[in-house]
Homo-oligomer: A and B are copies of this chain.
Amino acid sequence: MKYSYVSHLYCPKCGNEYDTAGKQQLCSCGSPLLVEYEWDELKKVLTPEQLTKRENSLWRYHEMLPVENEEHVVSLGEGMTPLLKLPVLGKEMDIHNLYMKDEGLVPTGTFKARGAAVGVSKAKEIGVKEFAMPTNGNAGAAWALYGAKAGIKSTIVMPKDAPKITRNEVALSGANLYVVDGLISDAGKIVGKAVKDYGLYDVSTLKEPYRIEGKKTMGLEIAEQMGWEMPGVILYPTGGGVGLIGIYKALKELQTLGWVKGRLPRLVAVQAAGCAPIVKAWKEKKTESEFWPNSETKAFGINVPKALGDFLVLDAIYQTDGCAVEVEDESMLEEQKRIARLEGAFICPEGAAVFSAIRRLRRDGWITRDETVVALNTGAGIKYPDTVDSDVPVIKKDTSIKI
A residues sitting closer than 8 Å to B (CB atoms) are 52-53, 56-57, 74-77, 80-82, 84, 88, 102, 104-109, 130, 132, 145-151, 155, 157, 160, 164-165, 167-174, 176-182, 186, 189-190, 193-194, 197-198, 200, 336-337, 340-346, 380-383, 385, 388-390, 392-401, 403
Contacts and interface: CB of A to CB of B under 8 A. Distances in A.
Nearest to A387: B168
Contact of A179 (B176, B189, B393): B393
Contacts of A145: 340, 344-346
- The residue among A52, A171, A343, A385 with the most chain B CB atoms within 10 A of its own CB is A385
B80 A56 contact: yes
B172 A390 contact: yes
Contacts of A80: 56
A401 to B, nearest CB: 5
A174 B341 contact: yes
18 contacts: A75-B84, A145-B345, A146-B344, A148-B341, A148-B342, A149-B343, A157-B401, A160-B394, A167-B390, A169-B340, A172-B340, A174-B340, A176-B401, A178-B392, A181-B394, A182-B397, A193-B401, A194-B400
A107 B109 contact: no
Given A172-B340, A173-B344, A345-B145, A167 B77 contact: no
A180 B198 CA distance: 55
Nearest to A343: B149
Contacts of A76: 82, 84, 102, 344-345
Given A160-B394, A165-B385, A179-B395, A340 B190 contact: no
B382 A181 contact: no
Chain A facing B: main interface SS: mixed
Contacts of A194: 400-401, 403
A76 B82 CA distance: 8
A195 to B, nearest CB: 10
Contacts of A132: 403
A189 B395 CA distance: 13
A162 B194 CA distance: 42
Nearest to A391: B171
A346 B172 contact: yes
A327 to B, nearest CB: 19
B394 A180 contact: yes
Contacts of A180: 394-397, 399
Nearest to A399: B190
A169 B77 contact: no
Nearest to A57: B82
Contacts of A177: 390, 392
Given A130-B403, A146-B344, A176-B403, 4 more contacts: A149-B343, A168-B385, A178-B395, A180-B395
Contacts of A389: 168, 171
B344 A167 contact: no
A105 B108 contact: no
A342 B155 CA distance: 17
Nearest to A165: B385
Contacts of A155: 401, 403
A172 B130 contact: no
A15 B84 CA distance: 40
A148 B347 CA distance: 14
Contacts of A397: 180-182, 186, 189
A39 B73 CA distance: 41
Nearest to A116: B344
Nearest to A155: B403
A383 B401 CA distance: 29
A65 to B, nearest CB: 18
